[in-house]
C-alpha cells in the first residue's frame, strides 16, 4: 500500500477499528516501512497520553472543608438546643417555636456553601478540560502536518485547479471546503487529500508559500457559529484556526505567522 494512500487509516489501525483483512495488510506494510512505523508509534504515544489524562480532581481540601462545616453546623445546633433548655419537665414555649427555624437556617447556609464549592470546582474542571482539549487538538494538527511532510507526496489529488480539487472531496467528507487557487497572491494550490484529526476524517488542502508547505485542514463545526482566526505556536510551527460557514479550518506551517494569517481572507 503506498504511503500516501493509507496515512489516514493509521488512527483507526491503532484503535483496532479496521476489518481484519485491512488490519493485517497494514500491519505487514508498517513492518516494512520505517516512516509508517514511526507515525504509528507517535499515534500510540498520543493515544496513551489522552487515556492517561483521566478526570480532573476536585479542589484539594474540598472534602475536608465540607466535613468541618457540617460538623460545625451540628455543634451549633446542639449548643443552641442546650441554651434553650429549661428546668426538667418544663419546656420554654419560645424554644419549641424557634428551634426548627434556627436549624433550618443553619442547614440552608451549609447547603449554600456546598453548592458554591461545587460550582467552583465545576468551573475549574471546565477551564482545565477546555485547555487540555485545545492542547491535544494542536498536537494532533501538528502531527498530521509533520506526517504529510514525511511522505513522498502529501497529496492525493494533485491539481492547481480549484474546480478539480473541490469536487474531489464530494462523497469523501460531509462538507464542501473553500478551495481557491491563490497563485496570484503567492500561495499556489498544490492539491488535496484526506487525513485524520482527533479521530475524525478531515479534508486537507495543500498550499505552498515559497519553499514552505501549508496544510489547511477542514472539518464540520458543531454549531455553525463564526469564530475569528486564532494563532498559536507549537514547536516552532504556527497553527491558525478559524470557523466560517459551518466549517472549521486550521492552517499549519513553519511559514511566518504574518503570512499564515493572510489565508482566511484570501480563501
Answer yes or no: is 225 within a domain: yes
Poorest-pLDDT segment among 103-107, 140-144, 227-231: 103-107
Grade residue 143 by pLDDT with cuts at 50, 70 and 90: very high
Q: Is residue 214 part of a domain?
A: yes
Q: Do the domain assignments include residue 61?
A: no
Question: Is position 64 within any domain?
Answer: no
The terminus-to-terminus CA distance of the chain in angstroms comes to 33
Considering the domain boundaries, does residue 261 fall inside one? yes
Comparing 201 with 30, which gets the higher pLDDT? 201
Per-residue pLDDT band for 18 (boundaries 50, 70, 90) equals confident
The total of structural domains in the chain comes to 1
pTM: 0.55
Instruction: Give me the phi and psi of 163, to 5 degrees please.
Output: -75, -10
- The domain spanning residue 220 has which CATH number? 3.30.200.100
37 domain-assigned:
no
Residue 253 lies in a domain: yes
**Mean pLDDT in the chain?**
78
Q: Which three cell numbers stand for residue 136?
A: 491535544
Using DSSP's 3-state secondary structure scheme, residue 41 falls into helix
pLDDT tens digits for range 106-122:
666 666 666 766 666 55
- Residue 142 is predicted with a pLDDT of 93
The domain in which residue 255 lies consists of 151-267
By the 8 A CB rule, do 215 and 151 touch? Answer: no
The count of other CB atoms within 10 Å of the CB of residue 10 is: 20
More confident residue, 114 or 1: 114
pLDDT digits (tens, 9 = 90+) for 24-56: 887 888 787 777 777 777 777 776 665 555 555
Is 60 a domain residue?
no
Amino acid at each position: 500500500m503506498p504511503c500516501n494512500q493509507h496515512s489516514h487509516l493509521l488512527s483507526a489501525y491503532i484503535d483496532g477499528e479496521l476489518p481484519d483483512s485491512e488490519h493485517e495488510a497494514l500491519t505487514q506494510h508498517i513492518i516494512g516501512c520505517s516512516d509508517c512505523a514511526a507515525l504509528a508509534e507517535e499515534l500510540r504515544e498520543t493515544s496513551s497520553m489522552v487515556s492517561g489524562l483521566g478526570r480532573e480532581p476536585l479542589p484539594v481540601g474540598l472534602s475536608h472543608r465540607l466535613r468541618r462545616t457540617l460538623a460545625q453546623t451540628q455543634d451549633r445546633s446542639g449548643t443552641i438546643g442546650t441554651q434553650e433548655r429549661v428546668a426538667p419537665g418544663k419546656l420554654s414555649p419560645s424554644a419549641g417555636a424557634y428551634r426548627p427555624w434556627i436549624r433550618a437556617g443553619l442547614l440552608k447556609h451549609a447547603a449554600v456553601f456546598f453548592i458554591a464549592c461545587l460550582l467552583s470546582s465545576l468551573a475549574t474542571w471546565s477551564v482545565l478540560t477546555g485547555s487540555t482539549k485545545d492542547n491535544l487538538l494542536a498536537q494532533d494538527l501538528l502531527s498530521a502536518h509533520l506526517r504529510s511532510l514525511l511522505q513522498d507526496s502529501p497529496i492525493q489529488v494533485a491539481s492547481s485547479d480549484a474546480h478539480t480539487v473541490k469536487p474531489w472531496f464530494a462523497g469523501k467528507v460531509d462538507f464542501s471546503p473553500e478551495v481557491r487557487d491563490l497563485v496570484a497572491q503567492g500561495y499556489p494550490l498544490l492539491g488535496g487529500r484526506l487525513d485524520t484529526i482527533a479521530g475524525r476524517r478531515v479534508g486537507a488542502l495543500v498550499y505552498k508559500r515559497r519553499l514552505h508547505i501549508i496544510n489547511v485542514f477542514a472539518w464540520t463545526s458543531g454549531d455553525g457559529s463564526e469564530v475569528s482566526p486564532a494563532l498559536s505556536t507549537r514547536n516552532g510551527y504556527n497553527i491558525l484556526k478559524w470557523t466560517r460557514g459551518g466549517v472549521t479550518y486550521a492552517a499549519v506551517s513553519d511559514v511566518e505567522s504574518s503570512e499564515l494569517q493572510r489565508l482566511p481572507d484570501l480563501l
